[in-house]
């Protein structure tokens, strides 16, 4: 008697659960729990990180990310408008910029601004300017494409209605199209903020004073001082304090935007 499709799906799902349980049990029996506890869950090493991991490292990570995101958002908006411009040179400049900074690793941008700019041009940025420019230059390339897609997603009727009311092209764009586009792209912008939060760790390569430490640098210094990986684990948990709420916010905005779009389609229907 042939097995039904539903029965085969249940058996396949059951086999997957069984395999997962076996892998967990094997890992649990093979692992050296005493060594894991000493390496990752050293209470004394964790206690030594407070309160600096919060008051210095976590705060600096948030500040660095906020600076980079604000700069990237401003530049990204200008680039998006340039790429949608009917003027050819604006589109070409925006395209070259976007393709360049999306193609090079963020690490190279940090090194260029941190070490190359002072040597080549005599420009010496403080740490806040360096991280703002580095994160902003890389982030703006992605944000520009997100904003451009959002602007193009706004129904053309909105722009035509604004023009019929006597608004200029620029006024219609600023007052009608761009605000609607930002409501559409809030979820991907939140994801970009999460990526910049993690990229802010690259600043540790440039050398920091202790009061400028972000989470990764703080964790590495803790590792050197204690010989335990607990400070690294603690730094990772602090990153999650930032990124998990942002992830939930992104999904909430995505659902909310989706519901609004469905209501809009119902009204139009």
Residues 222-263: tens digit of each pLDDT: 998 888 899 999 999 999 999 999 888 888 877 776 666 556
Say if residue 198's pLDDT is above 60.
Answer: yes
Question: DSSP secondary-structure letter at 57?
Answer: I
pLDDT score for 233: 92
Instruction: Tell me the CA distances in angstroms from 147 to 118, 119, 136, 140, 201, one per residue in order.
Output: 33, 35, 15, 10, 25
**Confidence at 266, pLDDT banded by 50, 70, 90:** low
Going along the chain from its start, the domains and CATH numbers come out as 59-207 (1.10.3720.10)
CB atoms within 10 A of CB 236: 13
């Amino acid at each position: 008697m042939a097995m039904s499709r539903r029965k085969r799906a249940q058996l396949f799902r059951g086999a997957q659960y069984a395999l997962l349980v076996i892998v967990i049990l094997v890992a649990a029996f093979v692992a050296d729990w005493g060594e894991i506890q000493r390496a990752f869950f050293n209470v004394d090493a964790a206690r030594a990180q407070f309160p600096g991991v919060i008051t210095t490292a976590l705060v600096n990570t948030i500040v660095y990310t906020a600076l980079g995101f604000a700069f990237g958002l401003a530049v990204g908006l200008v680039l998006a408008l340039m790429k949608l411009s009917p003027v050819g040179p604006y589109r070409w400049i925006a395209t070259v910029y976007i393709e360049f900074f999306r193609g090079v690793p963020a690490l190279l941008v940090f090194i260029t601004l941190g070490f190359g700019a002072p040597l080549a041009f005599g420009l010496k940025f403080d740490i806040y300017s360096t991280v703002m420019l580095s994160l902003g230059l890389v982030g703006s390339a992605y944000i520009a494409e997100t904003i451009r897609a959002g602007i193009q997603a706004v129904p053309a009727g909105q722009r035509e209605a604004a023009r019929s009311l006597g608004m200029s092209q620029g006024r219609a764009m600023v007052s009608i199209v761009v605000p609607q586009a930002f409501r559409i792209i809030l979820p991907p912008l939140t994801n970009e903020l999460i990526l910049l939060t993690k990229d802010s760790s690259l600043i540790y390569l440039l050398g920091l004073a202790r009061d400028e430490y972000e989470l990764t640098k703080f964790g590495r210094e803790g590792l050197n001082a204690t010989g335990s990986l607990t400070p690294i684990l603690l730094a990772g948990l602090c990153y999650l304090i930032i990124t998990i709420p942002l992830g939930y916010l992104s999904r909430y905005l995505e659902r909310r935007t989706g519901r609004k779009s469905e209501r809009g389609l119902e009204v139009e229907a």
